[in-house]
A and B are shown apart, each in its own frame.
Chain A
């Protein structure tokens, strides 16, 4: 076999592998219900911060422990635990994307994406990302 055919086959194989791998590794936007069905698996959950219920962050006892309540698109409310300081604009957020897994009754978030009313461009939303573990 000529080298050029081997190269072509390898190229196509790697290309297909990249597509299949992406499809397999892609996460999903789900509700708390779906996330609870497979505890331990990580998902994206989009929801709204429950501004009236208690948010707990006491940096003097533990600067890496934040608790708040989030309502998902079906209005199911769960407690979210985030092992990192409280993002500065959490209260102002209109939409929160949490990435993490269910652990018992709580959702353990490894990363939080906030959508806040834009401060520098009126009328649009702005995002910011917070990670528990630096990547």
Chain B
């Protein structure tokens, strides 16, 4: 566009280092695939090629680290000549949130994912032993795909990837037309760009610093069981891969589960939708691989203990990773459109993401097909189909069969490859049978979530235009609650079965103990939670059954030994989580029910939801078991904190309970996003009181509004004046008032009146000033914005006879008072700590199980 050889102030070196690192990481990962592939498939020199593969992966890994470091320096040093820094950060952004800029943009999140793959790859390189070559080959294939997402090169008119190191002036050349840039001259454009666009305020939260890396580590971990399964298919060691995959799968379940719950906790603590889970497509996208991963962890153990369920283990290992890719496609391609509140930008990479997904769908079939002829014809078919598919846009009868064939090929080819287990009847009294049922229940749960979340995909595939169910949350709950009930029951009795066959007599006795003790506990809890709905009571019994069953198993069968207790402890945690979901979900109560709406309209709808309450400053309002008073706001830029005092109040005895506290929900009136509200929650052991501000008045513009209705009054001392909403009494006039701050040093006389202003809400004083300097007079009015009143002392009519008859001329003016109020929503979540506590216990359980597996090696 213009011939300028150098722009002042740019730091181009660092961006070039970043770009070179991207290209290098791509080339090195491609090289690693070939090296490890050679080491896997060739009998000769495989030791040498394995070493070459290691070098390749080291180069790749260091390049990825270098990309990460370069991008961080660019953000941290505020190099706004780079689009990424300009778009996602700003000068005043605290250092602790700078790392969050990485995951606001897509490029950064792909980079994070790649970095975790590198870390896991380094561990696998030295721990996988004989599995190193095939497993690392699969890891490297994923890295090739992920690095193309960052390439940002154009080949034959198609943009491949999006480079985080592009310059602002290349992406948005229109900046040169901005007047303040033109004044400086194009070569000095950077001096005009003082600040970046800033980070979304919702991401400026410490949970947002740790939740995405944890979640992405969980996603990254899903590739390891997949890679082992592929390694099994490649090498023909079809059953040996299971053992090393177990601890990796447990690791994945633990980390991904932690990441999901962290996201739920973040939503609960800092979003204003009032809950921790909304069945939002983006939440679901992280849930679906987790559900399959849980199923996988169980079938892996079944196979290890009994040699059964190998086929489904393969399928689950394959699909838990494929679902990570599918989830990435859903959330990153922009296809979710109308159905999700999470905003992700579409970088025009949906084609690339789809290709990435289907390449990995095809991979297992290629490895599993028995001979080269079948492999080549399968690949040929896919390539032909894809070429046909890509050249003509979307054609339903080309694409749908292509997708079906690719997916079916996975099931078919793996089925033919895997050795068949015996056709003997299933033993109903064996532990593996019930574990298998449990795994299938998780598969069903996962299937239902995928089916619903993929609504936009079905719309595109079949050319329909369906919207999600009206009550999305209710619909999901209707399906998932029965599933949770079955899971709770299975967890409760499953462990009492022995592998292969169980003695029914002994089992019956144990079952009897669990049923009795869990029924007793359930009755107590049902009273505590005030449960009346029979479905909820069944849900409670099943969750309690899960907890009690595993406690008894741990104490009786495992004799309380903690080293082997991993499974039991994880199950106890899961059961407690179910109890927490039940108690906080069914007992959730909005206490900010508004009554003032009664006056509003004659056709008042009884069903209308009045879940937001108006709190006028200093007016106590009853709210549930509390008397709430909004007492004022403080602004600590960029947030304004609204302080609300709560006094516990017992409606039965009409007395204060002494349960008093203050909450300060805050809101950021963000110039770019309007009101961004952050809740504040009072945590008790038994319940949480959650509040957020949903609306605040615009006090600034009300303050600027002009005064009207000018009236002049002649008053003597102690005379009363009627004003809007109340009255004002002229109490005294000080003849020689303090002049400080009034700029009236030269005046001969300075008089200050004192008026007591009484309104129904409060009593305040107004102090208008009147000054005389020779023949000239000056009046300084006093404006009371909160009352909407202005008082001005304009003249004094003296009476030389009787000083007490002196009249003061007061001019009043009025306008609507600047009202100070907030609109608040408050919710009580009972016993939500079961959920958070259960999560922690579950994580401890996984840790114990992983440690146990490591020791046995």
Q: Which residues of B contact A36 (CB under 8 A)?
A: none
Task: Say if the beta carbon of B469 comes within 8 Å of chain A.
Answer: yes
Minimum distance in angstroms from B107 CB to a CB of chain A: 13
B345 at the binding interface (Cβ < 8 Å): yes
Whether B341 lies near A62 (C-beta < 8 A) is no
Contact assessment for A27 and B673 in the assembled complex, using a CB-CB cutoff below 8 Å: no
- A69 to B588, alpha carbons, bound, how many Å? 33
- Alpha-carbon distance between A61 and B426 when the two chains are bound, in angstroms: 68
Compute how far the CA of A62 lies from the CA of B598 in the bound complex, rounded to whole angstroms.
Answer: 8
Which A residues between 78 and 135 are near B, CB-CB below 8 angstroms? 83-86, 88-89, 92, 97, 99, 103, 108, 110, 113, 118-122, 124, 126-129, 131-135
Q: Which residues of B contact A15 (CB under 8 A)?
A: 444, 447
User: What mask results when residues 437 to 456 of chain B are scored 1 for a CB within 8 Å of chain A, else 0?
Assistant: 10010001001100110010
Chain A residues with Cβ under 8 A from B444's Cβ?
11, 14-15, 18
| A62-B597 in contact (CB<8A) | yes
B466 touches A26 (CB 8 A): yes
CB <8 Å contact, A27 and B465: no
Q: Do residues B437 and A7 form an inter-chain contact, with CB atoms below 8 A? A: yes
Contact of A134 among B346, B470, B611 (CB under 8 A): B611
1/0 per residue B592-621: CB within 8 Å of A? 001011011100010011111110000000
**In this assembly, does B510 line the interface, its C-beta being within 8 Å of a C-beta of chain A?**
no
Q: Of residues A19, A43, A88, A92, which shows the largest number of chain B Cβ atoms within 10 Å of its Cβ?
A: A88
Q: Which residues of B contact A74 (CB under 8 A)?
A: none
Residues of A within 8 A of B783 (CB): none
Contact at B697–A59, with CB atoms within 8 Å? yes
B-side contacts of A38, CB under 8 Å:
none
Q: Please report which residues of chain A, range 53-68, place their CB below 8 angstroms from some CB of chain B when the two chains form the complex.
A: 59-65
Tell me whether A61 and B596 are in contact (CB under 8 A). Answer: yes
Given contacts A118-B343, A124-B345, A126-B343, contact A3 B428 (CB under 8 A): yes
B840 interface residue per 8 A CB criterion: no
Closest residue on chain A to residue B338 by CB atoms? A97
Q: Answer yes or no: B675 CB below 8 A from chain A CBs.
A: yes
Bound: A128/B470 CA distance, A? 16
Contact present for A18 and B425 (CB under 8 Å): no
Closest-by-CB residue of A relative to B172 is A122
| B612 and A61 form a contact (CB under 8 A) | no
Number of interface residues of A (CB under 8 A): 56
Whether A59 pairs with B695 at a CB distance below 8 angstroms is yes
Residues of B within 8 A of A84 (CB): 609, 611-612, 694
B821 contacts the other chain (CB 8 A): yes
Contact check: which of B274, B469, B597 meets A65 at CB < 8 Å? Answer: B597
- The interface residues of chain A lying within 8 Å CB-to-CB of B837 are none
- How far, in whole Å, are A77 and B88 apart by their CA atoms in the complex? 39
Q: Determine if B375 is an interface residue (Cβ-Cβ < 8 Å).
A: no
- The answer to the question of B771 belonging to the interface, with a C-beta cut-off of 8 Å to chain A, is no
Known contacts A4-B426, A22-B452, A134-B827: does B674 contact A63 (CB below 8 Å)? no
Interface centre among A21, A25, A42, A129, by most chain B C-beta atoms within 10 angstroms, is A25
B600 touches A62 (CB 8 A): yes
Please state if B425 and A2 are interface contacts (CB–CB under 8 Å). yes
Quick check: B467 and A18 within 8 Å, CB to CB? no
Contact of B609 with A133 in the complex, beta carbons under 8 Å = yes
B470 near A63 with CB under 8 A, answer no
Q: Does the CB pair B695–A83 fall under 8 Å? A: no
Q: Which residues of B contact A34 (CB under 8 A)?
A: none
Decide if B104 touches A120 in the complex (CB within 8 Å).
yes
C-alpha gap A83/B609 in the complex (Å): 6
Q: A81 → chain B, closest Cβ, in Å?
A: 9
Chain A residue nearest to B827 in the complex (CB)? A134
With a cutoff of 8 Å between Cβ atoms, the chain A residues found around residue B475 in the complex are 25
User: Which residues of chain B are near A44, meaning CB under 8 Å?
Assistant: 467, 470
B204 in contact (CB, < 8 A): no
A27–B827 CA distance with the chains assembled, in angstroms: 29
Q: Check B192 for interface membership: any CB of A closer than 8 A.
A: no
Chain B residues at the A interface, C-beta cutoff of 8 Å: 87-88, 104, 172, 197-198, 200, 273-275, 278, 338, 340-341, 343, 345-346, 425-426, 428, 433, 437, 440, 444, 447-448, 451-452, 455, 465-475, 479, 588, 590, 594, 596-597, 599-601, 605, 608-614, 672-675, 694-695, 697, 819, 821, 823, 825, 827
14 contacts between A and B (CB under 8 A): A2-B426, A59-B695, A60-B821, A62-B601, A63-B613, A63-B614, A83-B608, A88-B695, A118-B345, A129-B273, A131-B273, A134-B588, A135-B273, A135-B474
Q: Which 3 A-B pairs have the closest CB atoms?
A: A88-B674, A119-B672, A88-B675
User: Footprint of B on A, CB under 8 Å?
Assistant: 2-4, 7, 11, 14-15, 18-19, 21-23, 25-29, 42-44, 46, 59-65, 83-86, 88-89, 92, 97, 99, 103, 108, 110, 113, 118-122, 124, 126-129, 131-135
Q: With A27-B470, A63-B695 given, name 9 new contacts (CB 8 A).
A: A15-B444, A25-B475, A59-B695, A60-B821, A63-B613, A84-B611, A92-B674, A126-B343, A135-B474
